């Protein structure tokens, strides 16, 4: 098996290398890929969208339809993850449950804890397969996480002028929640951002994107034509496009944040969303 | 032969991308562990992304963010790198992490049923349960 | 001088890829894959694709390593090859 695989791989690689003389040479200004459409993007996009970052302009405006469906893909992935591994909420799985007395630090073990004690201030639940929490890690992460989230918002809002945008900002925002789950525990994350909120947020991002598109249709223009914002807000055509790109990026950021948090919650807890990494 | 050598030195990046792609393909075919297969899939994806971005590079050009944001003056397209492959690959990276999440969810489900991640052991258990 | 550094980073990417698929332990494979993603981010920076490099640094080296570690934590670290 391994020898056949190696043979097939070497054969494919040799064929690809043979075809390499047809590639444009490295860094060729006149290569076909950078002549026709990209020339128009580079020369015209600033006067049409007022966005110095060409990547954001192309992503949000010229290829808006593509980006919208990519957002739908991310949303669908979160949905698929949910449908594949989420367990029903009211199943009482037998096993061991551990509680820590908050004053003394004593850990109590309990079998068959189907009726979990709810909001009990003297006992808190701890994970059965994870060591007790570390004060240094917890307090460092508590201080760092707000700054990470602020940076995520900055990246979304500043995507017009510097590298960044909805995808990157959304991922940084999701990473801050992953850090919260790793440093504290998964129940803290679920307490802050429960499942209802993440599901609504992931759908709301896609709907915001669709909404901006439908607004263009409602004003008598094409789908996703941000020129519609110009007439309503009384701004120039180019700043209407710039505002449209910002709205769309916020939608993308919401969906990406929520989808990645959903996937992490489900994977790290094997679908129960009670104990996790 | 000399022709071949000049090609090798002038296009060494493309050589490296083909090698990376083949490493990923080999892992997807020959490795038995499901997570190893996923790592191979990701390597294959990133190799293709590298190839796309390399097609759009220009010698002597700068990053695709305009230097002065005024409407005066002509923007020369030779000065800036082609932004179109960057856009395509940026969305592809985000989609690749979403599909990786779905694949890992399926792997967890397989592990729940068969208690192993090795391909041959899973096939064995399916054959004689 | 600059192209030698670029070549070194390219070789490091290939070394990381081969090490990731040959590691004897899934946990180390996932961590080496994170290093691979970071070296890939360096590649994109060398080509001037700053947005793609930013995305790869956040996603490849951050979130996807975390997802993979979560899945390995819930399954097993054992691998035969």
Report the alpha-carbon distance of residue B113 to residue C78 in Å, rounded: 17
Alpha helices in chain B (DSSP H): 2-10, 12-30, 34-55, 84-114, 119-127
Structural contact between residues A269 and A182, judged by C-beta atoms closer than 8 angstroms:
no
- The domain segmentation of chain C, as residue ranges, is 2-74
H helix or E strand, kind and range, residue A45: helix A37-49
Number of domains in chain B: 1
- B93 pLDDT higher than 70: yes
| Residue A25 pLDDT | 78
Chain C residues within 8 angstroms (CB to CB) of chain B: 7, 10-11, 13-14, 17-18, 20-21, 26, 29-30, 33, 36-37, 40, 43-44, 47-52, 55-56, 59-60, 63-64, 67-68, 70-72, 74-76, 78-81
Query: Of the given ranges (B57-61, B73-77, C19-23), which has the lowest mean pLDDT?
Result: B73-77
Tell me the mean pLDDT per 10 residues along chain A, length 277: 89 88 78 82 84 88 90 94 79 65 74 58 70 80 94 91 90 92 85 90 93 88 83 79 90 94 89 74
- The domain segmentation of chain A, as residue ranges, is 50-86+131-269
> Looking at the DSSP assignment, which residues form a beta bridge with residue A100?
A107, A124
CATH, residue B20 = 1.10.287.3510
Of A8, A26, A270, the CB nearest to B11: A26
Instruction: Label residue B67 by pLDDT band (50, 70, 90).
Output: confident
Structural contact between residues C57 and C38, judged by C-beta atoms closer than 8 angstroms:
yes
- Tens digit of each residue's pLDDT (9 = 90 or more) over B6-63: 766 777 788 888 999 999 999 999 988 999 999 999 999 999 999 888 888 888 888 8
Compute CA distances A251 → A11, A204, A225, B9, whole Å. 45, 7, 16, 45
Compute CA distances A173 → A29, A149, A255, whole Å. 37, 5, 11
**Mean of all residue pLDDT scores within chain B:** 86
| Residue A258 pLDDT | 94
| Residue A115 pLDDT | 52
| Residue A203 pLDDT | 94
| Residue A119 pLDDT | 58
3-state class (DSSP) for residue A206: helix
H helix or E strand, kind and range, residue A100: strand A97-101
Q: Which residues of C touch B90 (CB under 8 A)?
A: 51-52, 55
3-state class (DSSP) for residue B128: coil
| Residue B68 pLDDT | 73
| Residue A32 pLDDT | 80
Structural contact between residues A38 and B84, judged by C-beta atoms closer than 8 angstroms:
yes
Structural contact between residues C21 and B39, judged by C-beta atoms closer than 8 angstroms:
yes
Q: Which of A38, A212, B64, A242 is nearest to C44 (CA)?
A: B64
More confident residue, C19 or A224: C19
**Mean of all residue pLDDT scores within chain C:** 89
Tokens matching residue B85: 């492959």
């Amino acid at each position: 098996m391994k020898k056949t695989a190696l043979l097939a791989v070497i054969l494919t690689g040799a064929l690809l290398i043979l075809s390499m003389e047809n590639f444009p040479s490295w860094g060729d200004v006149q290569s076909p890929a950078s002549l026709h459409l990209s020339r128009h993007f580079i020369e015209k996009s600033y006067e049409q969208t007022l966005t110095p970052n060409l990547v954001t302009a192309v992503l949000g405006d010229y290829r808006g339809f593509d980006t919208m469906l990519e957002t739908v893909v991310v949303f669908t992935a979160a949905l698929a993850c949910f449908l594949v591994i989420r367990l029903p909420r009211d199943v009482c799985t037998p096993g061991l449950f551990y509680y820590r007395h908050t004053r003394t630090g004593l850990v109590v073990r309990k079998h068959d804890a189907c009726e979990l004690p709810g909001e009990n201030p003297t006992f808190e639940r701890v994970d059965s397969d994870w060591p007790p929490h570390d004060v240094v890690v917890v307090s460092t992460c508590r201080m760092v996480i707000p700054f990470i989230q602020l940076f995520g918002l900055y990246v979304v809002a500043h995507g017009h002028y510097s590298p960044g945008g909805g995808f990157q900002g959304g991922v940084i925002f999701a990473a801050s929640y992953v850090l919260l789950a790793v440093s504290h525990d998964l129940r803290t994350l679920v307490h802050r951002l429960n499942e209802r909120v993440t599901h609504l947020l992931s759908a709301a991002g896609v709907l915001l994107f669709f909404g901006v598109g439908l607004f263009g249709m409602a004003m008598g223009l094409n789908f996703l034509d941000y020129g519609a914002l110009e007439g309503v807000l009384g701004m120039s055509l180019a700043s209407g496009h710039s505002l449209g790109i910002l709205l769309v990026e916020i939608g993308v950021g919401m969906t990406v944040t929520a989808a990645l948090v959903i996937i992490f919650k489900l994977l790290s807890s094997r679908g129960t969303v009670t104990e996790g990494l | 032969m000399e022709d071949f050598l000049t090609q090798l030195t002038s296009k060494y990046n493309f050589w490296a991308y083909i090698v990376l792609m083949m490493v990923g393909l080999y892992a997807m075919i020959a490795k038995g562990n499901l997570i190893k297969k996923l790592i191979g899939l990701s390597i294959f994806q990133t190799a293709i992304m590298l190839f796309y971005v390399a097609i759009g590079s220009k010698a002597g050009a700068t990053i695709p963010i305009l230097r002065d944001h005024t409407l005066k003056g002509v923007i020369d397209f030779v000065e800036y790198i082609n932004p179109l492959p960057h856009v395509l690959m940026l969305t592809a990276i985000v989609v690749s992490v979403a599909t990786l999440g779905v694949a890992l969810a399926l792997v967890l489900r397989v592990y729940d049923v068969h208690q192993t991640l090795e391909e041959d052991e899973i096939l064995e258990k399916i054959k004689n349960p | 001088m600059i192209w030698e550094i670029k070549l070194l980073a390219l070789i490091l990417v290939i070394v990381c890829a081969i090490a990731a698929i040959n590691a004897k332990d899934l946990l180390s494979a996932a961590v080496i894959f994170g290093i691979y993603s970071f070296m890939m981010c360096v590649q994109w920076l060398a080509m001037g694709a700053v947005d793609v490099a930013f995305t790869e640094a956040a996603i490849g080296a951050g979130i996807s390593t975390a997802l993979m570690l979560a899945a390995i934590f819930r399954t097993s670290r054992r691998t035969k090859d």
